[in-house]
């Protein structure tokens, strides 16, 4: 089952619901991995991309600021 599930904060969320014949945990994860990799191949083949959340961290360099202001002790 593949359905559009909801609008996320910055995404369109899909629900992918699958069933397996196996109840063996390791085999289940092998099947799950195969399904996910095939979905990834389809997305790539169609020229689409999956957006992943990102963050930007801005670091303030106090020493550089003091040098720019002429503070000799910052050297």
What are the pLDDT digits (tens) for 3-54?
999 998 888 899 999 899 999 999 999 999 999 999 999 999 999 988 888 8
Q: Within 13 Å and on the Cβ side, how many CA atoms surround 7?
A: 0
pLDDT at 72: 59
Structural domain harbouring 69 = 2-74
Residue with the larger pLDDT of the pair 69 and 47: 47
The overall pTM is greater than 0.85: no
How many domains in the chain? Answer: 1
3 state SS of 49: coil
Band the pLDDT of 75: cuts 50, 70, 90: low
Q: Within 13 Å and on the Cβ side, how many CA atoms surround 31?
A: 12
């Amino acid at each position: 089952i593949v359905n559009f599930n909801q609008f996320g904060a910055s995404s369109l969320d899909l629900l992918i619901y699958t069933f397996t014949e196996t109840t063996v945990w390791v085999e289940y994860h092998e099947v799950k991995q195969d399904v996910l990799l095939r979905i990834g191949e389809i997305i790539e083949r169609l020229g689409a991309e999956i957006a992943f959340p990102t963050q930007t961290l801005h670091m303030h360099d106090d020493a550089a600021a003091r040098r720019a202001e002429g503070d000799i002790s910052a050297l």
